[in-house]
Amino acid sequence: MLQNNALTGLMFLIGIFYNSWPMGLGAILGNIIGTISAALLRYSRDDIKNGLYGFNGTLVGIAVWFYFGINILTTSAIIAGAFLSAIVMHIIKKRISALTAPFVISTWVVIFGLKFLYPASAMALPLPQSDSLNLLSAVSMGFGQVMSQENIVTGLIFFIAILVNSRNAAIFALYGSLFGGLIALLLPIPANMVNIGLFGYNAVLCGIALGNKKFDAFLLTTFAIILSVLLYFGFYKAGIIALTAPFVLAAWTVLLVKSIQLKTKFKMLHTK
């Protein structure tokens, strides 16, 4: 969740294991492979030390075993996906803030391959049914679903973990989960999808990555949250596993807007 803090990372891992030990092991495996891959490829030591090549691998490890379960084939897929995520991270970060794009790209590649080789996956599992909003569940699982954890306690642990590192990030993450869930209620979707955080987790990441106390930044963050919800809805209707792609696309859009604003201000100052 973009937190450069070892204690926060440990709390994330505890939260994952609380909900699912297989996904906890997948997170560790993906992290190790992503980090070792970057070291073997001789990427920046500072970036490796700061976890830039491990966190996308972590998400790959969680996602693969979440969707396809544990076996030799999916374990191999985690290794391949985490290795690929390190390469994609190295390429993208030279041009733009990579965020979780390496995870999205490498996991899509892995899922595409596994759907042909291993069609019996967990992707067809039915969602729990509910016709009314459960605000605590929606907000808490908005945090948990960032790492595919459908558990209220895990979501609370994730929130506290962010708070340990940054109060600002925690506040805007909370705002993202709450506001994203409320926006989703306006869409033609069952309430249970909101209750389990599916329309909140990308908004959480938008809040963390873009949240700022300045009014202009707050407006852009709010715009990114709304856009992430709409993008997730679009992926859902298209039958595509969204992962954190809505967050990445929304954040990149806001960063582009900010870049245009800076260039405009510079031109105005230069003209004067």
Average pLDDT over residues 204-224: 94
**Three-state SS annotation for 40-64:** HCCCCHHHHHCCCCCHHHHHHHHHH
Residue 21 or 268, more confident = 21
Summary mean pLDDT of the chain: 92
pLDDT in tens, 112-154: 999 887 665 555 455 556 668 899 999 999 999 999 999 999 9
In a shared domain, residues 136 and 271: yes
pLDDT in tens, 67-117: 998 999 999 999 999 999 999 999 999 999 999 999 999 999 999 999 887
Distance in angstroms (rounded) separating the CA atoms of residues 197 and 179 = 12
Please check the confidence at residue 259 and state whether its pLDDT lies above 90.
no
In a shared domain, residues 116 and 22: yes
Q: What pLDDT is attached to residue 124?
A: 46
Average pLDDT over residues 5-13: 96
Residue 231 or 268, more confident = 231
In a shared domain, residues 31 and 166: no
Q: What is the token pair recorded at 129?
A: 């049914």
In a shared domain, residues 84 and 164: no
| CATH number for 160 | 1.10.3430.10
pLDDT in tens, 37-46: 999 999 999 9
Domain boundary among 87, 105, 125: 125
Q: What pLDDT is attached to residue 126?
A: 54
Counting the structural domains of the chain, the total is: 2
0.85 surpassed by pTM: yes
Length of the chain: 272
Q: What pLDDT is attached to residue 7?
A: 97
Please check the confidence at residue 64 and state whether its pLDDT lies above 60.
yes
Please check the confidence at residue 267 and state whether its pLDDT lies above 70.
no
How far is residue 53 from each of residues 36, 78, 79, 103, 245, measured CA to CA in Å?
A: 9, 14, 13, 10, 18
In a shared domain, residues 78 and 145: no
User: Which domain covers residue 253, as residue numbers?
Assistant: 130-272
Provide, rounded to the nearest whole percent, the portion of the chain with pLDDT above 70.
92
Average pLDDT over residues 5-14: 96
In a shared domain, residues 111 and 165: no
Domain boundary among 76, 94, 125: 125
In a shared domain, residues 139 and 47: no
The band of 271, judged by pLDDT with boundaries at 50, 70 and 90, is low
Average pLDDT over residues 172-188: 96
In a shared domain, residues 191 and 116: no
The answer to whether the beta carbons of residues 136 and 197 sit under 8 Å apart is no
In a shared domain, residues 81 and 27: yes
The set of residues, in sequence order, having a beta carbon less than 8 Å from that of 136 and lying 6+ positions away, is: 152
